[in-house]
Chain A
Amino acid sequence: MRYFTDEHEWIDVAGDVATVGITDYAQGQLGDIVFVELPAVGTKIEKGKDAAVVESVKAASDVYAPITGEVIEVNGALEEDPSLVNTDPQGEGWFFKMTIADSAQLEGLMDEAAYKDFVASL
């Protein structure tokens, strides 16, 4: 099941592991991404707090943790090729995988249809 936040992150839940990235809309807004600063494996991140930083040519932007949990894997491919976030944001351009501390936090997130409506309303 894939969820979306109003901060334009997506979160893919498979069992007790969640994969996090930014949406196609977000990468379009950011423009050409030149660097992604990912949290270290083992970092405990908290819903709504800083989790990663995306550097585009123009500016640095924070990516917030969509839920609370612990980072268990990061996408090392982004170090070599940060433009994966532009070319395949909702696939190969994923940011990190994390544990789900409280699955109730998922309930407040949008599904794909709701997120689509949200973006259309912007």
Chain B
Amino acid sequence: MSDHDTDDQIEDLPLEALPLDAWHRAKGARMVPFAGYEMPIQYEGIVAEHNWTRESAGLFDVSHMGQLLLSGPDLDAAVEAVLPIDLSTLKPGRQRYSLLLNEEGGVLDDLMVSRMEDGSLYLVVNGATKWDDIGTLREALPDDITLNHMDEQALIALQGPKAADALARHAPEAAALTFMTFGTFALAGHKVQIARAGYTGEDGFEISLAAEAAAEIADLLCGEPEVKPIGLGARDSLRLEAGLPLYGHDLSPETSPIEAGLIFGINKRRRAEGGFPGATRIIREIAEGTGRKWVGLKIEGRLPAREGAEVFSGSEKVGIVTSGGFSPTLQAPIAMAYVSAANAAPGTALEVEVRGKRLAATVAPTPFVPHRYYRGS
């Protein structure tokens, strides 16, 4: 018995332990290498954890992600030269999805940008790319912009329809946040930053807190009847159902955000004005369209098609799967794939090849499972 693919980022560097390492092990987690850390892939089982998050609330340790704080004179202009974001419309307490692009318009990373009360910018970037991101940002930003890697901070996500109920018992004011807003709150006496956001398609929160408080807060939240710890395995199946891209799989330096359907990551004023890395290609693709598009696929039967599986229309190869698996919610295989624009319309009948077998697949709208973000009552 052996895994076909070890799709985790295994680097040559020795694996590091995250602040909640011992906490995960005590909860019975199976730990695997991911993004240079040992991380919990599952506790009781991926499907049980997946379903629990969809029905109740799950706690995810995402402390491997990079938390960065940018500050300094003329910060907005400096950052706008690097990211295709319109910072003139990003008010304190709000966060927005953005993209780190190379000069060719390829994706180096996707990230969240939050405006702090003092005008500084708090970024959350992917774990596997954070060191490269820091290098790219330091290189691109003027010397008088300070980049603080907040590596003393942990990051915990609380996701699911009952996340707000559980959190409200400890930080009632945080339950008033709406999707993509954040604030500073007291949680068990610790000062924490809570954003209403996540990566599961469900309502939920991301809590940035001091590493030394992480175990106490994780215990506090998992002490609520709605909350269980959830591993990376379910995190992946949840985000796939939600149609959300995973960097390194669905996004890479070889993909443009326009073909990935992430035009919202290129803010309107920037589409008109340009002035960010890769703008020439991005603006051209917005005007002319792209040769291929990132789409959802529903696959007949029960056999999942995974990353790397080729997509066909008749005998013609028209695309490739970038993420795929079995959807616990739909009880069927689902996938995300780049396919030629001519084959990208929902309802298009295609085939996916898995170990020499052709599986019937249909282009499907995403998300596969509807998002349930809280945008206010």
Contacts and interface: CB of A to CB of B under 8 A. Distances in A.
B46 A54 contact: no
Contacts of B325: 57-58
Main secondary structure, interface of B, reads mixed
Kindly state the interface size class of chain B when it binds its partner. Answer: 20 to 34
Contacts of B50: 57
A55 B5 CA distance: 12
19 contacts: A8-B1, A9-B1, A26-B1, A29-B1, A31-B45, A31-B46, A32-B46, A34-B302, A35-B302, A53-B4, A57-B47, A57-B237, A57-B328, A58-B41, A59-B3, A60-B5, A61-B1, A64-B1, A64-B2
Given A31-B233, A35-B302, A35-B303, A57 B326 contact: yes
Contact of B47 (A8, A26, A32): A32
Contacts, number: 69
Given A29-B1, A35-B303, 8 more contacts: A7-B2, A34-B304, A35-B302, A53-B355, A58-B46, A60-B3, A60-B5, A61-B1
Contacts of B237: 57
Contacts of B2: 7, 61-62, 64
Contacts of B303: 35, 37, 55
B42 interface: yes
Given A34-B304, A55-B303, A60 B1 contact: no
Nearest to A34: B326
A45 interface: no
Interface string A40-63: 000000000000011111111111
B139 interface: no
Contacts of B302: 34-35, 82
A8 B3 CA distance: 13
A22 interface: yes
A100 B45 CA distance: 36
B236 interface: yes
B306 interface: yes
A65 to B, nearest CB: 12
A37 B233 CA distance: 22
Contacts of B45: 31-32
Given A37-B303, A57-B326, A63 B1 contact: yes
Nearest to A25: B1
Nearest to B304: A55
Interface string B18-48: 0000000000000000000000011001111
Contacts of A56: 46
A105 B302 CA distance: 35
B46 A61 contact: no
